Amino acid sequence: MNKLIGFLILIFLSGCASHQTLEAFKKDDLFEKAVLVTQKSDIINSLETKAIINATYLNTIDKSFSSDKVERFIIGIYITDDEKNEEFKFLNNPHYKLLMNDKAPLSIKPFSKEHKMYGKIPLHNNWAKYYEVEFEKTPKIYKLELKLSNAHFDDAKIVFESE
């Protein structure tokens, strides 16, 4: 009998729950599309992680990011033995180079809270710094290879298909 009364109380109390709790499960199209075009790679040496890169290919997520002239990415970088000087950390670290199909970026901007994708990045790394990076779009190139390299270690590579 006690179990039945407990069960009825539980049902009664669950009916009083706020519908706001379901807000966390609302559909988010940008996040869903970003999940499909986000990848991660590491630079590892002697079983020790030296750097982590994750990238989200923006051109395919939303029309506002698509371009005939540039390939856009949100790139997160974390380097374990990063420079002490803030000016030379993350993508500004002189020991690491970021390329796409062996070409340097056209622009690198810090990722801001005002960006349409802020809060919608899958694989978010709290220790990484995020940037919006643009590379020149090359016609008839369908494989986009992002590479984070260091002269002393193997490269971290991420490959996307262009839009």
pLDDT 10s digits, 134-157: 999 988 888 999 999 998 999 999
> CA gyration radius for the chain?
21
* Cα separation, 37 vs 11, whole angstroms: 42
Residue with tokens 């380097």: 79
What single string gives the DSSP state of each residue in 8-64? HHHHHHHHTS-GGGGGGG---HHHHHHHHTEEEEEEEETTEEEEEEEEEEGGGT-GG
Nearest Cα neighbor of 40 from 124, 113, 99, 110 is: 124
Q: DSSP letter at 147?
A: E
pLDDT tens profile 79-115: 998 878 878 888 889 999 999 999 999 999 999 989 9
* Cα separation, 109 vs 68, whole angstroms: 20
pLDDT tens profile 48-74: 999 999 999 999 998 999 898 999 999
**Burial track 27-36 (b if 16+ CB lie within 10 A, e otherwise):** eeeeeebbee
* Cα separation, 32 vs 45, whole angstroms: 33
Average predicted confidence (pLDDT) for the chain: 85
pTM over 0.95: no
